[in-house]
Amino acid sequence: MKDFEYFAPKTVEEALPLLSQYKGEAKIIAGGQSMLVIMRQELLAPEYVVDIKGISALDYMTYDESEGLRIGALTVHRAIEKSPTIQKHFKVLSEMETNLATIQTRNWGTIGGTLCHGDPAGDPVPVLMTLDAKLKLKSLSGERMVAMEGFSKDILEVDLEPDEMLIEIQVPVPRSHTGVAHEKLMVMQGDAGIVGAAVSITLKPGDGVCEDARIVISNAASIPLRVRKAEKSLIGKVINDQLLAEAGEAASAEADPPSDVHASAEYRREMVKVFVRRAAIRALERAKKG
């Protein structure tokens, strides 16, 4: 690993001037679970490393019925997985975290680090996209809010300026009769998904017609991909087995999966069909419960 100058600010107010002063030459490190791998492989050799793990003010979760859920960027995966509030109001987030990596990685890796890393195989982004989450970004020039959808730009590339930090993830309270589920294909529990699918379904109370659907697939394109044709195949209809199969087919047609040592593109396309359908079945069951 190349030498670098190391800073360990304890507040956002200390971190932002460093990112501004060394804009383009400094890199943030949080839990280091992805960063250290990349630095060891010398794929990245920053002159300055700004270690934000000690900014305790960004380690929090709050929830209320009007504001929804707010998660500080430095909250570790394990805290999200184990939070009684998350388990009660956003069960899908806790379930997704249970299948993310090993306990060691979940104990140290942060939610902010995962989102900013921009890995198209990452699990949190598809789930947060189906939940319509927003991100608060901050630099010395001010704050901006961006939608989770659209934050990923390409493989390992996100909508983040070199002097910006992710501060908070905001998740609105889902409408009533909404069910959300996440499924991923793993060889062993905690493996990165060969493909993954997050599905949100909102039913009209009474007649059970699908009012809204959001479907996002992972590791099936260069970014977590919202598959709108698949969503359209469900909206305005009473969902049945045939429609679920059609949604899977549509998602697979919209996917542009890679071929790598883990799976061929053809296999991934087949698995997108299966996992979109599986996640949709569970989302539908949950939506029916109100």
CB of 246 to ligand FAD, least distance (A): 28
b/e for 43-76, b at 16 or more Cβ within 10 A? Answer: eeebeebbbbbebeebbebebeeeebbbbbbbbb
Backbone angles phi, psi at 112, to 5 degrees: -60, -40
Which of 128/199 has CB closer to ligand FAD? Answer: 128
To the nearest whole angstrom, how small is the minimum distance from the Cβ of residue 113 to ligand FAD? 2
> Residue 71 or 234: which CB sits closer to ligand FAD?
71
Residue 122 to residue 265: CA distance in whole angstroms: 18
Name the residue nearer to ligand FAD (CB basis): 18 or 73: 73
- Least Cβ distance, residue 76 to ligand FAD (angstroms): 8
Chain centroid to CA 219: how far?
12
Rounded Cα–Cα distance for residues 155 and 255 (Å): 15
Provide, rounded to whole angstroms, the least separation between the CB of residue 186 and ligand FAD. 7
Return residues touching ligand FAD (CB under 6 A).
27-35, 52, 73, 100-101, 105, 109-110, 112-114, 116-117, 122-124, 160, 165-166, 190-192
Which tokens in the block code for residue 191?
């493996």
Nearer to ligand FAD among residue 192 and residue 274 (C-beta)? 192
In terms of CB distance, is 128 or 272 closer to ligand FAD? Answer: 128
- Nearest-CB residue for ligand FAD: 113
Please name the residues in contact with 55: beta carbons below 8 A apart, sequence gap of 6 or more: 9, 10, 11, 12, 15, 74
Kindly state the smallest distance separating residue 209's Cβ from ligand FAD, in Å: 33
